Structure 1
């Protein structure tokens, strides 16, 4: 954002930096998730969305602006080992005080039970070169953790033993070779998944269990009490939590959202519940408006964008440098955006646009041209070797 737009946004977002339980609104578009980036400069933030897709989009936006963010993913109908591993790895990081600035989770992910805090160390093993480690003991741990012993590695969560050499395909899908000398890890190397030949040396590997182990605990019990939680759209979150609970066959694996809320209030420094319009009687009233839909006819949409930029300072957020170049060309003499004097074009990802007060608009280019990209399932895996 340009300085004026950025300053305006931060002024509004900083209003949310409070303690206790507060209702705020109205909110629109991606304002709550971007506001969380401002809050995260003073304390950790747990950001909860109503839908899995929204969580993915939020992570992408926050990564784009350089925020340290981690996704706490939801287990879906078919339990994927890599998702189990991601959940355990994040809990282990919290246990070790290795924390991101923001954790993003959908309400299904938050409702799904987790191991208790005391159990987390059993779910994750961090191995380093020169560690004292019994090969037999590690083999037993891998079996208990849901890994399959095979002759040759072919997929994640497998291991193979040849003398003092242990090959492991981690739950995240990375292949590693450990060379033992007695009960000491002498070397570690990445393994090419096709040739199974040793590649570059590494110093550490993080192994996570693939077995779903639950207690009565949940993510909120693992979050430091100095953190705050931001609920993206509390009405939609509440509705989706009820819908999710109704359609899950085995509800013993879930925690009621009302109980989750009680834990938030009991443990965290602030619970910030965002309300979309209508939002009356809020503890904090926000000057955040909704961005009107653009015409599906490109020429008309560009005219509407020009008209908007004559009334407000408009930040047009483009996903690629090529798109920035093309939109900048349209501001040239005789082009469709020639008179869009209040328009600033930048390369950044904003999922959904919104208005700030009477003088600023944040507009994603994909909303202008109705070109939407589905990010669902495209999750970056945390590297488990280094």
Structure 2
């Protein structure tokens, strides 16, 4: 049973219609008694109605956990806008380029989406970024079949902070190889390869930076600048990118305001201690509490779980409470479920994996009218109990006091001969080509193919035969890995030697596979020793394991 079923049950009890109705006549609305991850349920339901929203949380951890909850609930288009992790005016701190890239990527995506849902922390909005005007002016749009001067492209990208390298492997890098330009932009997952014929763009495609294989062909490439590096004297707040029709949702507004105020005090103190520095004043780089408050007045906004006076504010209460503390006791959990079942509550227990679900099934027994519970394999940050709908949502990591790791989207790259490995190669190193066998790496050489200059890897084989491997075929190359201190025999091109060796190897692998199948068939047929089933104490001990299990452990 998917988490969607639980969401559908809860959404029918959410006060979304009342919220939207009151926002028609009020700029500000306060929501109270939304416990645990019920906040994420409400935010998702609002966004499902095609309402653009930015959510501001007190800190980075709460932003990450909210993003994780929204992803679990099915909001696959949620965007996380990170802080830079830099300290104001601290020149000794090395910037994390991945965070700078992510900020540019999110700004680009927000500009392209009609109904964005963005999660940001107080620190991430505290840091100003390049203005929308400069961002748009610095963005390069390259279209297939258009003409664009290569020298002008080089000049433009370098002025945006792109670094010229031999092979691109990280955002902010560009490689020029004759009529081929590889750019790893500050937005998107993959680098872009642009092939020119003269000044005309012949093709544009995304490719895997590791294997150099094509991922997709494009008609247009949008190369955005690093949003944090655009003109320090013309920086603006993140809100300059947020449309005025966007709904702002602030989680624990008093904490958000307090954190922004503390960050501002810290920035001004650091600036006052600078000597003989041309660094811009804090007002050019950061927002203070007053600017934050004034900016919020331009938007309709919802405050969750704030400390506020009851009079003079529009307040909606949902009557939800936090998940009880079970202190890793199955006995207390069973008693709680039984008590709630008598009051016609339905308890949902969210398990992190299959193993936890199976243990709960054995520990709690079959669900019935006196033990009304359901098990789901899903993970949200915190459970809650909604008393009006008589729904209790518990998480297994809270039941056993385990740390909950937020779900984070990861960019996936396919394997192959990585650019890093290629850069680390030395002349004379042994390499293996999947079609031609073992040779020696002899460096790089620019060759002309169909009147187009291209970069190629030079591999030397027996009898001084040379093979040129285009960078688009790097997935066929890999570094030789064999017995230490023993040089391999170099293959002779055109002899059929490598093809015969591959055929023999395939045959031997088939023999090994056949032997393994026979071995496991015999094991399956033999009668094994039957151990007694795990006791309740054993199951409870396993379920309360405080560390997150790896896939092979559950």
TM-score (norm 2): 0.60
Whether the aligned pair in 1 keeps the contact of 2:330 and 2:363 (CA below 8 Å) is: no
Whether the aligned pair in 1 keeps the contact of 2:54 and 2:117 (CA below 8 Å) is: yes
CA shift in 2, pair 1:339/1:369, >3 Å: farther
Greater RCO (Cα-Cα under 8 Å, separation 6 or more):
1
Residue by residue over 1:293-327, the C-alpha shift from the partner in whole angstroms, topping out at 9 and shown as x without a partner, is 42333434533552464243222223334544443
Instruction: Give, in whole Å, the separation in 2 of the partners of 1:126 and 1:198.
Output: 23
1:275-314 matches, cutoff 5 A: 275=305, 280-281=310-311, 283-300=314-331, 302-303=333-334, 305-307=336-338, 309-310=340-341, 311=343, 312-314=345-347
Whether the aligned pair in 2 keeps the contact of 1:29 and 1:352 (CA below 8 Å) is: yes
Whether the aligned pair in 2 keeps the contact of 1:25 and 1:279 (CA below 8 Å) is: no
1:233, distance to aligned residue in structure 2 (A): 1.0
Moved more, 221-230 or 152-161: 152-161
1:47, distance to aligned residue in structure 2 (A): 0.9
CA shift in 2, pair 1:8/1:170, >3 Å: closer
Whether the aligned pair in 2 keeps the contact of 1:59 and 1:71 (CA below 8 Å) is: yes
1:381, distance to aligned residue in structure 2 (A): 5.3
Greater Rg over alpha carbons, structure: 2
Q: CA RMSD in A?
A: 3.1
1:172-183 matches, cutoff 5 A: 174-183=190-199
1:256 aligns with 2:288: yes
Which residue number corresponds to residue 240 of structure 1? 259
**Given the alignment, which residue of 345, 365, 369 partners 2:375?**
345
1:109, distance to aligned residue in structure 2 (A): 1.1
**Given the alignment, which residue of 153, 161, 165 partners 1:150?**
165
Whether the aligned pair in 2 keeps the contact of 1:92 and 1:120 (CA below 8 Å) is: no
Whether the aligned pair in 2 keeps the contact of 1:235 and 1:275 (CA below 8 Å) is: no
Which residue number corresponds to residue 144 of structure 2? 129
SS in 1 for 2:108: helix
Instruction: Give, in whole Å, the separation in 2 of the partners of 1:354 and 1:171.
Output: 39
**Given the alignment, which residue of 56, 69, 78 partners 1:69?**
78
Uncovered stretches (5+) of structure 2, i.e. residues with no partner: 87-93, 272-281, 414-554
1:102 aligns with 2:89: no
Moved more, 7-16 or 231-240: 7-16
Which residue number corresponds to residue 202 of structure 2? 186
SS in 1 for 2:63: helix
Whether the aligned pair in 2 keeps the contact of 1:73 and 1:106 (CA below 8 Å) is: yes
Moved more, 75-84 or 50-59: 75-84
Instruction: Give, in whole Å, the separation in 1 of the partners of 2:152 and 2:196.
Output: 13
CA shift in 2, pair 1:165/1:344, >3 Å: same
Instruction: Give, in whole Å, the separation in 2 of the partners of 1:301 and 1:123.
Output: 61
Whether the aligned pair in 2 keeps the contact of 1:123 and 1:145 (CA below 8 Å) is: yes
Instruction: Give, in whole Å, the separation in 2 of the partners of 1:176 and 1:371.
Output: 42
Instruction: Give, in whole Å, the separation in 1 of the partners of 2:5 and 2:182.
Output: 52
Residue by residue over 1:221-274, the C-alpha shift from the partner in whole angstroms, topping out at 9 and shown as x without a partner, is 2222222111111122122222322334453311124322322222x2x21112
CA shift in 2, pair 1:153/1:120, >3 Å: closer
Instruction: Give, in whole Å, the separation in 2 of the partners of 1:25 and 1:241.
Output: 23
TM-score (norm 1): 0.84
CA shift in 2, pair 1:154/1:223, >3 Å: closer
Which residue number corresponds to residue 19 of structure 2? 16
Whether the aligned pair in 2 keeps the contact of 1:320 and 1:347 (CA below 8 Å) is: yes
Whether the aligned pair in 2 keeps the contact of 1:306 and 1:339 (CA below 8 Å) is: no
